[in-house]
Structure 1
Amino acid sequence: MKKRKIGLASLLILVLITCCFMSGEKVTAMTEDIEVIPGEMILSIGDSSSMQSEEGINQNLDSLLQENEFVLKDDLLESTEIKSEDEFHILGQDSLENDVIENMGYTYLVGYPSGEYTFEQARTKLEEQLTDAGYEVKGIEPNYVMTALETADSQEQDYDINPNQKWNYEMIQVPKAWKITTGSSNTRVAILDTGIDNVHPSLSKYVDTGLGKNFASGSSTDTMDRQGHGTHVAGTVASYGNVTGVMRTATLIPIKVLGDNGKGTTYGIQQGILYAAKQNADVINMSLGGGAYSKSFESACNTAVQSGTVIVAATGNEYKSYISYPAAYDSVIAVGAVDNKGQRGSFSNYGKGLDFMAPGVKIYSTYLTSDGSYAYLTGTSMACPHVAGVVGLLKSVDKDITAEQVRALLKETAKTAGNSNEYGAGIVDVDKALQKLTGTEVTVNDDTNVLNAEKWVPAQQYKLGSVVSYDGNVYVCVKAHKSSEGLNPANTPALWYLCEETEEDAA
């Protein structure tokens, strides 16, 4: 299991934003002065057959809290738009709302007078009052601060992408994978971060602000990135123009869980996760993390995955032999960083629960300037969106593939890079994963099938795995379809995979 509980004294909640400074300064875990939001805690209470009206639960709870100097500040089901419009919750109904209640209970952000009580005093008092009133208390946790850090490695520049930066995509076989699929606008990738610069010339066509939401600060509809981290992450997942992401077509959902000052909270991130699931996100990218186990945070991740979303998170930049949360949760795919030689970055956390590695050193992607700029950044934050993009490509071919199926597929096709403690299953190989998923893996290397390839013709029904020759090359069908004059194998990589040249063409 990935779960690792540690004491609060070792907590450091950080956005994993390129913390490998080029000056060589190490980022280490804080041992004191753990930052929390003063006067706030996250409360989860259980469902009860005697309390089927959610409205009734809230009204009774609000009254009870006010009587005891507490304030009900937010209802997780309501703020994430998951709460049903029906007055009564229907038991057994298959819905995200029921999954949230079953896994997390009813979850709230509760305020208390921090000038009068410490967190421990407030928690004890609240738990006693709720228990006496007949509530089942599932958990009461601090609302931890998550902090985005600036980096000395940004090197903002206004020029076309350097061809040498292709190494990161070639390492995970993205160009080959594009012969099978370049993505789809129907594939939704939620970026939980500082927002996304939705007017950036390499991102604007892909960012759907109508699906986005702000759970950090300010207007709930303001998802603009003014910090830079989220924009860089988004560009690695999907972008166009001067740069390209792992996906060349996608819908990016900007979910702002970190404010313009680079700070957010565990409660806000839980809101973002569940909201993304509500918006039918295929993939969630979280280039953020921390060192403390949170039951409610884990439950939010589990619930989103249960709904069909795949969550990918960075392992951390603390030079430690353990991975941070949320990457450490069992339901989350944990990603570490390697350099252009396939070596683990010294900053990249490793250990039990590490799943895969991806490029994360001096990664070139979209960044902030007035006109839309580009930058090199380093960290597990940069490795994470490579894998999120890979999952997006898989989802564009098979919408129903589950998180565990994705994990198993990537594990089976990953390239071994070193011992599993430091490298997990290895470096992801999206081309092999797509071949395996589409059934083209064997056919591509099967000489008998290549020799028996029939000439491609229009108006023909082709099934998955069909092998044809066209214009001197051999192709394998990766999606069943009826051919036409305008959709030949050479110009439809979404339908045909280019295997190899025929002997006649090679001669």
Structure 2
Amino acid sequence: MARFLLCSLLFWVTLGLLAQPGTAQVPGAPTPVGSGTTLEPGRLIFRLKPAYAAQARANGVAVTALQTALAGVGATSVQQKFPQAQEVASKRPGAVDLSLLYQVEFDRRLAPEKACQQLLLSGAVEYAEPRYSRQPLYLPNDPLADSTTASGQYYLKNIRAYRAWDVTQGDTSMVIGIIDGGTRYTHEDLASQIQYNRLDPIDGIDNDHDGYIDNYRGWDFADNDNDATREANSVHGILVAGCAAGAVNNGKGIAGVGFKCRFMPLKIYPSTPAGSFGGFEAIVYAADHGCQVINLSWGGEGGRSQFEQDIINYAAINHDVVIVAAAGNTNDDLDFYPASYNNVISVASLLPSDEKGTNATYSRRVDLSAPGLQILTTFGNNDSDYIAVGGSSFAAPLVAGAAALVRVRFPQFNAAQVAAQLRQTADNIYQLPGNTAYAGKLGAGRLNVLRAVALTDRHSARIMSSTITPARAAFLPGDALQLTAEVQNLLLPVTNLRITVTSLSPYLAVQQGTFTAGALATLQRATNSATPFRLDVAGTVPLNTSAVLRYHLEDAATGYQEDQYTTVLLNPDYVVLDANNLRLTLTSRGKLGYVTLNNSIGEGVRYKGGAPLLYEGGLLVATSPTRVSNNLRNNWPKADQSFYSLARATLRDQTVRADQEAYAVFRDSLPGDTRSRTVGVQVRQVAYAWAADPHRDYVILEYHLTNLTPDTLRPLHAGLFMDWDLAPDATRNTAGWDSTRALAYVYAPASPNLFVGVKHLVGGKPSVYSITDAPTAPVYLGNGFTTAEKFLSLSSGTRNATAGFPLGADVAQVTGAAIPRLAPHDSVVVAFAVLAAPSLAQLQTTAEAAQSRYSLLLPVRAPLAKAGIQLYPNPSNGRVQLVLPSSLGSARVQVISALGQVVLSQSVTSGASTLLNLTQQAAGIYVVQVATAAGVFSQRLAVQQ
């Protein structure tokens, strides 16, 4: 008689709490990314470009630029992530060379995204990413559920496991990698099922020379030792192991779906404070050590990682491993990792009725469903206890056990074919009332193990890869796209395979959506590269729309048909100005380059197709040390969210003043609604770009600021914060200031072949504040960017104009404008040019060209006549009279040439006529700017000699 132990509610609450990332943040603590996902501080992964493979070393890379970048982020350790994997790199299509992967330990005070950006600037890195920690998927069962009824393991009947065992009972040579929270070696239903590494007995020697000493009973990747015993507060790995591989026919406890198949316990959650999550390291180990099936009952929302996808591909493609993962317990339609990666069987959980589980994640990425409630399995508090549990954590190992049986039954199948067999033999559950709302989002149906091991007449093909042209992360309204797909036939031969693409979104139309691949033998591939699918994005699309495309694969002669899905992002919350050499991303809420701090949304700022130049940038508006509006970082990893969109950033179809024009409107809240933490302004943002010389190296950003409050804003500061990161070493940049041109600029003194900057064009008195990474500096970005620091950087004039001299540092700049006052409901225009050039001289010429273009072609705001100021004669022979009304007080006048040069600057006394002598200047158009206490007023002046 099996012995059962019912858990207390307190125990399950404890488990539930362990699964949730903490909300309190302390310096260097893990950072929540999404439910079940945290970001590890002071640790990142990078992949070396294949061209530098010869420079790869076990403890570093012999590439000078990369070594410099690593020193710049305070790297204390640079280690080849999988040195043992070099010998098993496969030549199969899509195989991954893990010898190019490195893990870096660096200064925990530095934002991981910032450190990744600096490594990318070396030019030797294919990608650099933070390390993510994925949590186990605990889901407490109802404590009143009766797990001791005669039904017992009801789910074995639901999935037809009993009858499947009449066909095959697996084999002890088939090993399932249980990558989880550890095991109990002595449990009566697990002890006989553990796969031992008899080539490396416990004797203190690495007998099999695999880099692991005494890995006889698995490995603990969290604490880096050979004891995979579960950690003190979790039995999750034991629960999972029982579902997949609990002993059968031993007269005790429960039966695992895998029957004779064994499991390898690989522990990935730490038992010591020094330990860390080791899930993906364990996947590589399992693949290298003979596991043909791997189960992953953990994960989280968000934080998609190319490193993690590479590891999945290494196991699935290089080593032909079937990878099964839990789809999550979110009760939402979303991507959940690692389940949503390619080459993973994503498993959703079902109720005993075969309807969607109450908390089950559902999506087009789900492949299969399995029971996930009241799953009776091994417990692990002693050697003979059992418990009923629930969640996708326990649906996944049922599929893993079934995959092991399929591999034994059909040894000729590769991993992709095993997955296809499981999908094609599943039972349709969409006719059930509880599932009709989730059509296509619970995978192919409910697992049927009997059909999976018995049927030999299945057909299945799969879209293995797809490419959209033009290659973009997201597509704009009106875009025309071409879609190329490669299909592979996985099971029985097909005679006339036809693929049809349809759009499930009204905002993406398929103009040509059929491809006849014809007859395909087993494992044969075909592509429609000669006649790609053609798609059109609608002219009007809601913001951030995910358009789903459905591939319908069909062979009429055999009756085979199957659906597969892919998603395309439309109308993102940003636009890219790319009419000239400077490619700039403009968002709908005042940020430049990227929408988010992790640089995952947006295309950055680049010059002539080079590396990203800007880590973070955006608009700052302030009127006091406590009233600052912006969407920039505050205390990493958080950011202020003062501005919200009223009209999203769009590219104008019909441009008036430039080759490319973008427009957006956003605002903050009234100070009374935010305890006086915001300014109370509305911002109309306009951007201009030109394609012809000499205007190809800049973009003009114009901000129309309107005072929404009942009070005069006195003073008002507005400016652009730009955290530039220039190659080859972002920690060795220098920030300068050209006061003649009101031009703030940054360059790398060790390699002065690229200069970037911001020029003040109009509005208020120019200011600049250059920031360095010194902890003793008045503004230090290493620990965030406080409201007081933001105001200081806007309001200090030009007293802190330079930084990083002479050798360079990690620098940033705030280029601003000081406006004396802005009356209620009045508006003022502030404009800047963002520029790049190969030298300082060329940058200065570009700045003058920007000033000229803005002064001559764009409308001059606040003309002199509006303030009662007289300027005559106009046109003039060079001798001009300026009359300032007594009501305006004294003023300062500047005359600016078509090249943006200030050719005259003098004080003006109110109530009298002042002569402006321009007789020594060339004939042409000039702009006269008069700065008064009431604002800055401008007017064009024609000089004729």
Provide TM-score, normalisation by structure 1.
0.71
SS at match of 1:301: helix
SS at match of 1:164: coil
Identity of aligned residues (%): 25
Tell me, yes or no, if the aligned pair for 1:185 and 1:250 is still in contact at 8 Å: yes
Whole-Å Cα distance in 2 between the matches of residues 262 and 169 of structure 1? 39
SS at match of 2:62: helix
- Give the counterpart letter for 1:427 in structure 2: R
Structure 1 or 2, whichever has the larger Rg, is 2
Cα distance, 1:263 vs. partner? 12
CA RMSD of aligned residues (A): 3.6
Whole-Å Cα distance in 1 between the matches of residues 40 and 275 of structure 2? 10
SS at match of 2:298: coil
1:395 equivalent to 2:429? Answer no
Task: Describe how 1:180-195 pairs up with structure 2 within 5 A.
Answer: 180-195=167-182
User: Aligned to 2:451, which of 401, 408, 432?
Assistant: 432
1:465 corresponds to: none
1:205 corresponds to: 192
1:139 equivalent to 2:127? Answer yes
1:214 corresponds to: 220
Larger RCO: Structure 1 or Structure 2 (Cα < 8 Å, ≥ 6 residues apart)?
1
Bigger shift: 359-368 or 255-264? 255-264
Bigger shift: 236-245 or 208-217? 208-217
Whole-Å Cα distance in 2 between the matches of residues 263 and 414 of structure 1? 44
1:225 equivalent to 2:230? Answer yes
SS at match of 1:290: strand
1:280 equivalent to 2:290? Answer yes
1:100 corresponds to: 96
User: Aligned to 2:254, which of 243, 252, 256?
Assistant: 243
Pair 1:198–1:438, CA change in 2 (3 A): farther
Q: Which runs of 5+ in 2 are unaligned?
A: 1-10, 24-30, 197-215, 431-435, 459-945
Pair 1:384–1:175, CA change in 2 (3 A): same
Cα distance, 1:161 vs. partner? 6.8
Whole-Å Cα distance in 2 between the matches of residues 259 and 184 of structure 1? 32
Bigger shift: 238-247 or 174-183? 238-247
Whole-Å Cα distance in 2 between the matches of residues 202 and 156 of structure 1? 25
- Give the counterpart letter for 1:108 in structure 2: Y
1:45 corresponds to: 48
More helix by share: 1
Tell me, yes or no, if the aligned pair for 1:156 and 1:375 is still in contact at 8 Å: no
SS at match of 1:423: coil
2:163 corresponds to: 176
Pair 1:261–1:367, CA change in 2 (3 A): farther
Superposed CA offset, 1:113-148 (max 9, x none)? 122x222332222222x32xxx2x121111122234
Superposed CA offset, 1:363-412 (max 9, x none)? 11001213342111110001000000000111122234122212221222
Whole-Å Cα distance in 2 between the matches of residues 148 and 164 of structure 1? 28
User: Aligned to 1:341, which of 350, 353, 362?
Assistant: 353
2:280 corresponds to: 270
SS at match of 2:418: helix
Whole-Å Cα distance in 1 between the matches of residues 352 and 134 of structure 2? 30
SS at match of 2:369: strand
Whole-Å Cα distance in 2 between the matches of residues 156 and 304 of structure 1? 41
User: Aligned to 1:256, which of 255, 267, 278?
Assistant: 267
Tell me, yes or no, if the aligned pair for 1:147 and 1:263 is still in contact at 8 Å: no
Superposed CA offset, 1:55-107 (max 9, x none)? 378352696566432133542212xx3234xxxx9xxx7479x9431xx6611
Cα distance, 1:421 vs. partner? 2.8
Superposed CA offset, 1:219-240 (max 9, x none)? 4212111320000000011112
Pair 1:125–1:236, CA change in 2 (3 A): same
Pair 1:261–1:397, CA change in 2 (3 A): farther
1:289 equivalent to 2:294? Answer no
Whole-Å Cα distance in 2 between the matches of residues 215 and 357 of structure 1? 29
Whole-Å Cα distance in 2 between the matches of residues 326 and 160 of structure 1? 30
Whole-Å Cα distance in 2 between the matches of residues 200 and 118 of structure 1? 44
Whole-Å Cα distance in 1 between the matches of residues 221 and 314 of structure 2? 18
2:716 corresponds to: none
- Give the counterpart letter for 2:112 in structure 1: F
Whole-Å Cα distance in 1 between the matches of residues 184 and 169 of structure 2? 22
1:71 equivalent to 2:80? Answer no
Whole-Å Cα distance in 1 between the matches of residues 275 and 141 of structure 2? 23
Q: Which runs of 5+ in 1 are unaligned?
A: 1-18, 440-507
- Give the counterpart letter for 1:270 in structure 2: F
How many residues align structurally?
A: 398
SS at match of 2:171: strand
Whole-Å Cα distance in 1 between the matches of residues 61 and 426 of structure 2? 52
SS at match of 2:349: strand
Whole-Å Cα distance in 2 between the matches of residues 164 and 422 of structure 1? 29
Cα distance, 1:43 vs. partner? 1.3
Superposed CA offset, 1:272-319 (max 9, x none)? 111111012110000011122111111211121112100000111011
Tell me, yes or no, if the aligned pair for 1:146 and 1:263 is still in contact at 8 Å: no
More strand by share: 2
User: Aligned to 1:124, which of 91, 94, 117?
Assistant: 117
- Give the counterpart letter for 1:239 in structure 2: G
